[in-house]
Amino acid sequence: MSSSAYWLFNKLKDKNIFRILNENCLEIDLDGNKTIVFCPTSDEYEITTAIVQKAKNLNATLLAYPSQWCKATSSAISYGKSLGIKIMPFRKFLSIYG
């Protein structure tokens, strides 16, 4: 599991609303609505269109990243929107799902 996915896993472990799908992805289940969340690895410190495509290939509908060491490019955010993938820092993610 990537360090960012592990961190998010620990933040949500008491909520019992997720399961780990693979190294990068968690599945969040809120009231029957399933969302696959992609978390970048430390090598993916810049969210680019290639990282968004990787998330899409893993069926992610949301990409959450740690803003302490990672950033999303504007082209990645636009590309994500065109694919139906929301891109947000962990803080925003936790304010919604945490």
> What is the count of structural domains for the chain?
1
The residues facing 34 across adjacent strands are 29
Contact in structure between 40 and 2 (CB atoms under 8 Å): yes
The pLDDT of residue 30 is 65
* pLDDT at position 1 over 60: no
Residue 15: give the domain boundaries.
Answer: 3-97
Per-residue pLDDT of 11-45, as tens digits, reads 777 665 678 888 888 888 766 788 899 998 888 88
Min mean pLDDT across 27-31, 44-48, 50-54 is at 27-31
What pTM does this model have? 0.83
Q: Helices in 1-98 by DSSP H: which ranges? A: 3-12, 49-57, 74-83, 90-97
pLDDT band, residue 92 (cuts 50/70/90): very high
